[in-house]
């Protein structure tokens, strides 16, 4: 007579084996990268991305989101082209979304095309001027065999200058989709007792760029309750550990503690200075 443990253990092993067959091993296939597959920190990595059409690409230190480099893609006026790579994970089945960072010098449309199992599909992404995180659910690429991935291709029309960084496979982050960036959710839905000493403000709302530590971010909201303003907060503190681990919805995602932990926050700050303030 079999015990419950004797029945459950083979069943669990069978379920695990079926999962591996269906979704692929956790380790990357030989010659293929893992789920975090591009951050452009070496010339070899940059060389795996090929420009096509009228586009030119090069490594850049401008507007990175992870460590110190991005990939600069440029297209002249009236032209078309982009960049592509076949250095991608072989199987994407275990993942929900493709995610990457873009800083765009002009608003425009970016075509994101995947090829897998001999089938291609593309999605269009609206880009605004400045910093943004692109997330696309993989199920939107209808017909592509996610178990036999072959190519990632990005295309646009000129004029366009894009800085691309941190391509990876991940879950679809609903909070990131709502906020638009990996930062604290500054909002005044929960008021505290206060005196509206300059709200409304006689000259109309002021524009306020404020850079608090995450532990003191509520101070930005307290100011906005009392002063009529358009608030542009960018969370940036002196402690690299807090910068990385102090955000529940983006735990560990805002920087590399062993490289350049404040890179993303610095790029957000540059974006606010260049694009947010009138």
CATH 2.60.120.260 domain position(s) in the chain:
36-172
Q: At residue 3, does pLDDT exceed 60?
A: no
* pLDDT tens for each residue of 136-178: 999 999 999 999 999 999 999 999 999 999 999 999 999 999 9
Task: Identify the pLDDT of residue 189.
Answer: 85
The pLDDT confidence band at residue 188, using thresholds 50, 70 and 90, is confident
Average pLDDT over residues 115-121: 97
22-31, 176-185, 202-211, 268-277: the lowest-pLDDT one: 22-31
Q: Kindly state the helix (H) or strand (E) to which residue 19 belongs, with its residue range.
A: helix 4-23
- Whole-prediction pTM: 0.88
Between 84 and 14, residue with greater pLDDT: 84
| pLDDT at site 258 | 75
Q: Which pLDDT value is given to residue 40?
A: 98
The set of residues, in sequence order, having a beta carbon less than 8 Å from that of 202 and lying 6+ positions away, is none
pLDDT in tens, 268-278: 999 999 999 87
The average confidence (pLDDT) of the chain is 90
Portion of the chain with pLDDT greater than 70, in percent: 89
- CA–CA distances in Å: residue 157 to residues 77, 78, 131, 141: 8, 7, 19, 22
Do 271 and 226 form a contact (C-beta atoms < 8 A)?
no
Count, residues in the chain: 278
- The reported pLDDT for the residue numbered 20 is 46
The 10s digit of each residue's pLDDT in 32-79 is 999 999 999 999 999 999 999 999 999 999 999 999 999 999 999 999
Where do we find the tokens 């004797």? 6
Which has the higher per-residue pLDDT, 123 or 11?
123
pLDDT for 17 beyond 70: no
CA distance 225 to 185: 15
The matching CATH number, chosen from 3.30.460.80, 3.40.190.10, 2.60.120.260, 3.40.50.720, for 36-172 is 2.60.120.260
């Amino acid at each position: 007579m079999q015990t419950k443990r004797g029945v459950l253990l083979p069943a669990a092993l069978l379920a695990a084996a079926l999962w591996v067959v269906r979704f692929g091993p956790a380790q990357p296939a030989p010659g293929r990268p893992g789920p975090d597959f591009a951050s452009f920190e070496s010339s070899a990595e940059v060389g795996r991305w090929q420009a096509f059409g009228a586009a030119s690409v090069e490594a850049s230190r401008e507007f990175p989101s992870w460590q110190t480099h991005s990939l600069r893609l440029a297209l002249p006026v009236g032209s078309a082209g982009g960049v592509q790579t076949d250095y991608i994970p072989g199987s994407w089945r275990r993942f929900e979304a493709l995610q990457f960072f873009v800083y765009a010098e002009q608003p425009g449309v970016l075509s994101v095309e995947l090829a897998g199992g001999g089938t291609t599909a593309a999605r269009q992404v609206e880009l605004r001027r400045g910093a943004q995180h692109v997330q696309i659910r993989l199920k939107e690429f209808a017909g592509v065999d996610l178990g036999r991935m072959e190519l990632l291709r990005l295309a646009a029309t000129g004029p366009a200058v894009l800085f691309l960084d941190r391509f990876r496979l991940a879950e679809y982050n609903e909070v990131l989709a709502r906020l638009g960036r990996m930062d604290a959710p500054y909002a005044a839905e929960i008021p505290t007792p206060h005196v509206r000493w300059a709200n409304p403000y006689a000259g109309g709302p002021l524009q306020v760029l404020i850079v608090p530590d995450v532990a003191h971010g509520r101070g930005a909201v307290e100011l906005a309750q009392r002063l009529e303003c358009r608030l542009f907060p960018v969370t940036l503190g002196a402690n690299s550990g807090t910068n990385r681990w102090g955000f529940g919805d983006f735990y560990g995602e805002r920087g590399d503690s062993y490289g350049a932990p404040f890179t993303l926050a610095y790029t957000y700050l540059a974006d606010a200075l260049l694009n947010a303030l009138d």
